[in-house]
Structure 1
């Protein structure tokens, strides 16, 4: 279920997020490459070409930090692989414009020749995930451009084997390659080059790691709890981080079913009022979609109990007229059904009339909640049993009820 909820959330990179370059076997550079961010290697020990290359962050070679980042990279890779696919598109992405979503190709590979445009549609939290079973290959001078608030930090390239970026090309987003990444002469990556088991090979490149988003925690409450069927319930999500106030949108779920979304206010709180939950137990979740500066997060489950409304059934006494001959006054039998929680009548419900175990008939409540039954044959059994009984079977929103109607002699 969690995978479905996070279908449009950023891939969680964990400690790997601070790295612009991360590899498994070697990191090799030629020329005046600039790495803006950390550079790491694990379990390999060979990092060459720095200098002449420069790293603005920290270089971690086969240390605990690099090992932890490598483990987080593998977790992120698995997360990206498991995202539900929005659409299967052509292998060649150049010359196309795509909106937020999760994409794969029938061939299991992607190529970019020309320009791929990613349209965030005005949402800075829009996420683009590209899944390949094998390779990602970009042509010389190819380009990935971002429009309408799309962010490099929310673009992810999951590569089943290796990625090769063409000379003087520009790629935006984080490459999560299972094997290796080759960035050829003059290419720029506005994102990350993260290779799980193989090498990252650089040649006079610029690797600009996006700003590292802060981790967040989301909590959820619902009130009142328990609540009656149809009663408004306020769902309140609070998103916090170590510093600053998260921004963006929270989506509320009943299990895997979305209930609606709401923006975070200036205090990091989002609220949604719902009144459509059916009677029973509901496992509610709040999912914060994250932003360029804050990671996505999911709240613990909040169990909300919705009860059926209480009902009241009242039966009017049967009026027995002795003169000029014994008979039941019309309408013979009458009962009224009321919702005790709202005080309103309950129309359109079937009431069953019986006496002494004998079935007398059924009638449907009208707009006032009243049902009447006219059965001339009911006189004798009602007299013998001292009145009659009415039962209401109930519905998912209303509890069952029963009542007894006596006899008045006039």
Structure 2
């Protein structure tokens, strides 16, 4: 039987984590002759993964997006046919970390003084990277706010809750640390607004009714309403 040669190439190379990579094996006769037939077994890191028949041009392809970060050895083993001997080709494929973007949002936005606020960081792979980032996100909320850390969940989100911010404007940011497959990223500075909490005022009179000339005590109770919490301060003016 005649000898054959097998070559294997990959594209793109290098790739990023989660990106689809196409391995192409090309089988050719060493001396001009008919196009080889048969099949090619693809082996990645010494593990057989799939056997693909040659097409009419003597090529076979294997597409995968499951490669881990690192350098991978790839072989294409041609099985031979009635006219050609088997042959093997080899290549390497480098997979690098995928980039990410991180965004930050607050709920509710705006909030009121004393209200519990949930900060959510969304970590997303930058195409052509794909997959679910893991690791930690650190949240920094202005000079008077907390520095909190939370893990990234399966939906790519990390969340923390806090309260106690002063009334006003607060700049915050989320910092994703990265993991074995994804590079870290930081959110833009994101503004959170804390408004004064609404209050209710109730007035009671003791005694009621009173008689002419009798001393009467007026009591005003000021309390936060809705989601506001805490004890209002300041003064109350009575008119009448």
Q: The TM-score by the shorter chain falls in which range?
A: 0.5 to 0.7
- Offset from partner CA, 1:46-73 (integer Å, 9 cap, x none): xxxxxxxxxxxxxxxxxxxxxxxxxxxx
What secondary structure, in the 3-state scheme, does the structure 1 residue paired with 2:71 have? Answer: strand
Out of 87, 96, 120, which is 1:334 matched to?
A: 120
Provide the residue aligned with 2:104 in structure 1: 315
Instruction: Compute the RMSD of aligned alpha carbons.
Output: 3.4
Bigger relative contact order (CA 8 A; separation at least 6)? 2
- Offset from partner CA, 1:88-132 (integer Å, 9 cap, x none): xxxxxxxxxxxxxxxxxxxxxxxxxxxxxxxxxxxxxxxxxxxxx
Distance 1:267 1:343, change over 3 A: closer
Provide the residue aligned with 1:258 in structure 2: 48
Provide the residue aligned with 2:19 in structure 1: 231
- Offset from partner CA, 1:1-56 (integer Å, 9 cap, x none): xxxxxxxxxxxxxxxxxxxxxxxxxxxxxxxxxxxxxxxxxxxxxxxxxxxxxxxx
Q: Tell me the distance in 2 between the aligned counterparts of 1:218 and 1:345.
A: 33
1:387 Cα shift?
Answer: 3.9
1:347 Cα shift?
Answer: 7.8
Q: Which TM-score applies when normalising by structure 1?
A: 0.39
Q: Tell me the distance in 2 between the aligned counterparts of 1:337 and 1:307.
A: 18
Q: Pick the structure with more strand per residue.
A: 2
Aligned residues: 188
Distance 1:260 1:344, change over 3 A: closer
Matched, 1:216 2:29: no
Provide the residue aligned with 2:69 in structure 1: 279
Q: Pick the structure with more helix per residue.
A: 1
Mapping 1:95-114, distance limit 5 Å: none
- Which ranges of structure 1 fall in alignment gaps of 5 or more residues? 1-212
Q: Tell me the distance in 1 between the aligned counterparts of 2:18 and 2:122.
A: 21
Provide the residue aligned with 2:161 in structure 1: 374
- Which ranges of structure 2 fall in alignment gaps of 5 or more residues? 196-240
Q: Is the Cα contact below 8 Å between 2:69 and 2:96 reproduced in 1?
A: yes
What secondary structure, in the 3-state scheme, does the structure 1 residue paired with 2:117 have? Answer: coil
Distance 1:361 1:276, change over 3 A: closer
Out of 189, 193, 196, which is 1:408 matched to?
A: 193
